[in-house]
Structures are given as C-alpha cells and as structure tokens.
Amino acid sequence: MHRRLPAPFTAALLATALLPLAACGGGSKDRPKADIAASKVTTIGVNAYLWRAALDTISFMPLVQTDSNGGVIVTDWYANPNSPNERMKLTVSVLDQDLRADALRVAGSRQVNQNGQWVDAPVQAATVQKLEEIILTKARDLRRMAIAG
C-alpha cells in the first residue's frame, strides 16, 4: 500500500531532488583551504552546520527536546493537516563535530488513527534517508555560504 508523505516532507523531497549534489566528490585542489577548518567551527558540542540544518529542516514540527551539546533533537507528534489520520515523530542525532554523512542519524516513528486509536505503523526507510539527505545538503550549503563570506 502506497502512503503519501506529509506535504512538508514532499516539498522538501522535491526541493532536494532538484538540487545538484555539488558537495559530493571533487579533488582537494578544488576545495578552499578554509573548508577543513570551517567544518569544525562550533561553539556547541556537535557540528554547527548539521545542527542548524537539522533544526531548519524540521522547524515545522513541534520540538520536545533540543540538546546542542549532546546533538539530539526530538520532535513531538506532528500530523499534516492534509493527512489528519497519520502522524510522525522524529529524533535527529548529530554525532560528531565534523560535517560528514555518518555524523547524522534520523529516526522516525509513525502512527495511524484506526477507530479513534493511534496505532504504530512502519516508517519507510526511504523517508528517513531522504530527510538525512536534505539535512546534509542544507548543512553543506550553510558551510559554503560561510566560507564564501
């Protein structure tokens, strides 16, 4: 059975599909010298670009907990007004001070309303993978803007 993603997820997924993956690949000669140092610029316990990108990406959801030193963002249940019988909850973990793909983990929970009761339902792996891609792309864009001045 095919389920539609909530509109904010769908819009974010579409935007990501249209963005080039400019930060992937390329030799070190193409990178500005400030690039390595910029990836570690932080006054919090985790990578500041990943942290900011994660907060920006899920800003439409109510937040329950944010811990910038531990790198954890937990949302409350969010139901898209267009799909009121389905809701999602996310936990985003920023695991490192470096801007790397393996420094980010998104976990999701999903429930559907059946006869007035919220029942756990599976989250498609592609949904959390796409959210991770969106956050990583946004973090790379933030880093590029900071380097460019």
Phi/psi at 106 (5° precision):
-115, 130
Q: In whole angstroms, what is the distance from residue 32 CA to residue 7 CA?
A: 37
The dihedral of CA 44, 146, 25, 127: what is its sign?
positive
Residue 20's pLDDT is 37
Mean pLDDT of the chain, nearest integer:
81
Q: Which helix (H) or strand (E) holds 108?
A: strand 104-114
- pLDDT-derived band at 149, boundaries 50, 70, 90: confident
Residue 145's pLDDT is 94
Residue 91's pLDDT is 98
Q: Is 55 exposed, middle or buried (0-12, 13-18, 19+ CB in 10 A)?
A: middle
Tell me the per-residue pLDDT of 2-13, one tens digit each, with 9 for 90 and over: 444 455 544 444
Residue with tokens 């956050």: 135
Stretch 29-41: mean pLDDT? 49
DSSP 94: E
Higher local confidence (pLDDT), 148 or 20: 148
Query: C-alpha angle with apex 17: 132 to 139, nearest 5 degrees?
Result: 40
Contacts of 58 (CB under 8 A, 6+ apart): 73, 75, 90, 92, 131
Tell me the per-residue pLDDT of 52-108, one tens digit each, with 9 for 90 and over: 999 999 999 999 999 999 999 999 999 999 999 999 999 999 999 999 999 999 999
pLDDT at 116 over 60: yes
- pLDDT-derived band at 40, boundaries 50, 70, 90: low
